[in-house]
Chain A
Amino acid sequence: MINQEQAVVELRQVSKRFGNYEAIKNLNLSIRRGEFFSIVGPSGCGKTTTLKMIAGFDHATEGAVYLSGTSANHIPPYKRNVNTVFQNYALFPHMTVYDNVAYPLKLRKVPKNVIRSRVIESLKMVSMDPFLDRSPNQLSGGQKQRVALARALISKPEVLLLDEPLSALDFHLRQEMQRVLKHLQREVDITFVYITHDQGEALSLSDRIAVMKNGVLHQVGSPEEIYEMPQTSFVAGFIGKSNLIKGRMEGPTRFVSDAGLQAMTNEASNLSGEPHVYISVRPEKLRTSKDDERYVNRLSAVFVEETYYGADRELTFREAGGTHILLKQQKDGGNVKFSEGESVDLFFRPEDAVIVKDWRS
């Protein structure tokens, strides 16, 4: 194994049970050195448990967690070269900002003058150096978050774990902190493992994303792969919006829906054995007219309603099987108005119909 390729965090066949409840089911995950890796999923999907096992606060019932190639199952959290940014920041209320950030270095008995310069350097990185002497409860949520980041990064861990760090912040602050995080990760060149239930956040921040549901890993890949080529119906519906139509494959690229829609699709991979599958069509890939020759698939539907979103609009239709179909269009003045109950033909290209496994849980 080449050292650069070696995973900084690796979970091998990890299962975690709490009594009879199986929180993690046979999870294999390999996180590369220096990447921004996100784990997304709805609450209860096992992402926080996964994080706790990497940090050392929880232990795998079966399987093992490897840190830089060595099994970490028996290494306590305080001996792991892994730091965490907690959801509620967990700043020590009885210490100033300075003492909070200096805490990890003081524990390691670093000389005082070194501590001072490194604390200031660390706080400058997150633009919090003017707040040295403040107490944590004099800071706003975003400021606390920055201090928590400085504190977790000061001892230069191999991996930084972030447990939904932005969920308590309001919309604008969250966007600002997303920028801070992204730049910070490039600057310090430390592996970030980012836990979130916000798929948009994961798409915009990450190098790679793992999507989990009910303790099962559904897919790992780059944001583009996850969005463009979802492998399961859950991933297609959770990451962005998607129209899922149920049916079966009658050939490598021939799909027939339960309601009788016939469609040409992209190449199916190993799904021929499945009794039924879904095709996933993103709302922005659908057209209300046949733009060019490639739009060979036609879906007859009935117009239901229009929702206005400023730069674009979303049209809701109902297809023969009763499923609601969303269509997203940019507002460019030339958009046709439909009336309720009107029959409309919708078009899409074969490469926009992604075959996904029927796997919602």
Chain B
Amino acid sequence: MKYLKYVGALLFAFIVYTFLYLPILVTILFSFNESKVQVLPIKKLTFDWYRGLFSNTELWVAAKNSLIVSLPATLCAIVFGTLAAYLFQRYRIRGGTFLQFLILLPYILPGIIIGTSLNLLFKFLKVDASLMTVIIGHITFITPVVMFLVMDRLKRFDRNLEFASMDLGASPMRTFLLITLPNIRSAVLAGALLGLTISFDEVVVSFFLIGTDNTLPMLIWSMIRHGYSPQINAVYTLIVLFSLGLIAIAGSRLFAQRNSKAITEE
């Protein structure tokens, strides 16, 4: 009976993971398939689709636009998110929980709501849609990611270290830069990497706020609409690897910090 339960659980886990990861693996597999039609078995492997990417200027411009959006948006979100986390954690703000929730909201709400409302706001303010407006849109949902990771880290950070620093002659500002920041650095970095990943893949908010430009995920989306090309599989594979890489770094940073903290507390 116990054995059956164990096998059942294993089978269930297998189904869940297959459902999550099989499409990704299949797409990666077909990005190396020479044939234009996606059918098994694969007759011949090729790098042609990847080679084709290099000559696709449209793709490169879109990729560049994505970076133009994601990097500054992430940088701003680091500053806003860290400061917000610090304020919420260090000072008892009246209605603090509610205010935190308000900052979290853009991350939870469907992108379409953020997208349309910002779109209307910019129209009202007579701001032309551009990569700049997309950056602002992205800041709204990366900031909460940074904020909550940093807050979690600050909760486990010994406040006496800040007191000790001020006691030894450092102003609150220098204390933050010399003592607090180095100790929450990994959480800030992890937040930034996760934020970057989300921003880099984001379509909906960008769609409502962008002018004539294209970001990479938007271009892929429009490519799919115009008909399937195995080149999409190749781009897709690269994005998956890029994102997984960032997430892996962020994750290892967070876990490394947690473990070292756990050891020193023993």
Whether B163 pairs with A107 at a CB distance below 8 angstroms is no
B263 at interface, CB cutoff 8 A: yes
Q: How many residues on A have C-beta within 8 angstroms of the other chain's C-beta atoms? A: 24
Q: In the complex where A103-B168, A104-B169, A137-B264 touch, is A57 in contact with B161 (Cβ < 8 A)?
A: no
CB–CB B168/A83 < 8 A: yes
- Mask, B157-179, CB within 8 Å of A = 1, is 01011011111111110100011
CA distance A55 to B160 in the complex (A): 13
Do A86 and B163 have beta carbons less than 8 Å apart? yes
Stretch at the interface among A87-95, A256-264, A316-324: A87-95
B166 and A90 contacting across the interface, CB-CB below 8 Å: no
Interchain Cβ contacts within 8 Å, total number: 61
Q: Are A92 and B161 in contact (CB under 8 A)?
A: yes
Q: How many residues of chain B are within 8 Å of chain A by beta carbon?
A: 20
Indicate if the CB atoms of B167 and A55 lie closer than 8 Å. Answer: yes
**B41 at the A interface (CB under 8 A):** no
Residues of chain B in range 167-225 having any CB-CB distance to chain A below 8 Å: 167-172, 174, 178-179, 182-183
Min CB–CB distance B128 → chain A (angstroms): 45
Query: With A57-B163, A137-B264 known to touch, is A94 a contact of B183 (CB < 8 Å)?
Result: yes
Chain A 29-66 per-residue mask, 1 if CB under 8 angstroms from chain B, else 0: 00000000000000000000000000101000000000
Looking across the interface, which residue of chain B has its beta carbon closest to that of A104? B168
A82 CA / B163 CA spacing, docked (Å): 13
A90 touches B158 (CB 8 A): yes
In angstroms, Cα B161 to Cα A83, docked, is: 13
Q: From A76, A82, A93, A108, name the one whose CB has the most chain B CB atoms within 10 angstroms.
A: A93
Q: Determine whether the beta carbon of A93 is less than 8 Å from that of B183.
A: yes
Q: Please name all residues of chain B whose beta carbon is closer than 8 Å to the beta carbon of A137 when the two chains form the complex.
A: 263-264
On whether the beta carbons of A83 and B263 are closer than 8 Å, the reply is: no
* Residues in A whose Cβ lies below 8 Å from that of B169: 78-79, 104, 107-108, 155
- Distance between Cα atoms of A284 and B163 in the complex (Å): 44
Given A86-B164, A92-B179, CB of A78 within 8 Å of CB of B171:
yes
Please give the distance in Å from B78's CB to the nearest CB on chain A.
Answer: 19
Q: For residue B253, give the distance in angstroms from its CB to the closest CB of chain A.
A: 15
Chain B CB count within 10 A is highest, among A83, A90, A137, for A90
For the complex, give the distance between the alpha carbons of A90 and B171 in Å: 17
Interchain CB contact under 8 A, B160 and A88: yes
CA distance A240 to B166 in the complex (A): 37
In the complex, the answer to whether B183 meets A83 with C-beta atoms within 8 Å is no
Q: How far apart are the CA atoms of A108 and B182 in the complex, in Å?
A: 20
Q: Which residues of B contact A86 (CB under 8 A)?
A: 160, 163-164
> In the bound complex, what is the Cα–Cα distance between A107 and B164 (angstroms)?
13
Residues of B within 8 A of A108 (CB): 169
Verify if A152 is at the interface (C-beta below 8 Å from B). yes
Query: A107 touching B160 by the CB < 8 A rule?
Result: no
Q: With A and B bound together, what is the CA distance between A107 and B177 in angstroms?
A: 12
Distance in angstroms from B157 CB to nearest chain A CB is 10
Chain A CB within 10 Å — which of B168, B172, B179, B182 has the most? B168
A90 contacts B264, CB within 8 Å? no
- Chain A residue numbers with a CB within 8 Å of B178 are 103
Q: Contacts of A16 on B, CB cut-off 8 Å?
A: none
Q: Which residues of B contact A103 (CB under 8 A)?
A: 165, 168, 170, 178
Least CB distance from A231 to B in Å reads 34
Instruction: Tell me if A237 counts as interface (CB < 8 A to partner B).
Output: no
Task: Report chain A residues within 8 Å CB of B167.
Answer: 55, 57, 77-78, 82-84, 152
> Is A197's beta carbon under 8 Å from chain B?
no
A188 to chain B, nearest CB (A): 16
Give the distance to chain A from B186, nearest Cβ to Cβ, in Å.
11
A98 CB, min distance to chain B CBs, angstroms: 15
Closest to A86 in B: B160
Asked whether A155 lies within 8 Å of B168 as measured between CB atoms, the reply is: yes
With both beta carbons as reference points, the residue of chain A lying nearest to B183 in the complex is identified as: A94
Q: Name the distance in Å between B237's Cβ and chain A's nearest Cβ.
A: 39
Given contacts A86-B160, A90-B160, A92-B179, contact A107 B168 (CB under 8 A): yes
Please list 15 pairs of residues, one from A and one from B, whose beta carbons are closer than 8 Å in the complex, sorted by A's number.
A76-B166, A76-B171, A83-B167, A84-B164, A86-B164, A88-B160, A90-B161, A90-B163, A92-B161, A92-B164, A92-B165, A92-B179, A94-B183, A107-B174, A108-B169
Which residues in B have some Cβ–Cβ distance to A below 8 Å? 158, 160-161, 163-172, 174, 178-179, 182-183, 263-264
By a beta-carbon cutoff of 8 Å, the part of chain A in contact with chain B is: 55, 57, 76-79, 82-84, 86, 88, 90-94, 103-104, 107-108, 137, 151-152, 155
11 additional A-B pairs beyond A78-B166, A86-B160, beta carbons within 8 Å, are A79-B169, A84-B164, A86-B164, A88-B160, A92-B161, A94-B182, A94-B183, A104-B169, A107-B168, A107-B169, A137-B264
Which 7 residue pairs of A and B lie closest in terms of their CB atoms, listed nearest first?
Answer: A90-B164, A90-B160, A104-B168, A137-B264, A94-B182, A78-B166, A107-B169
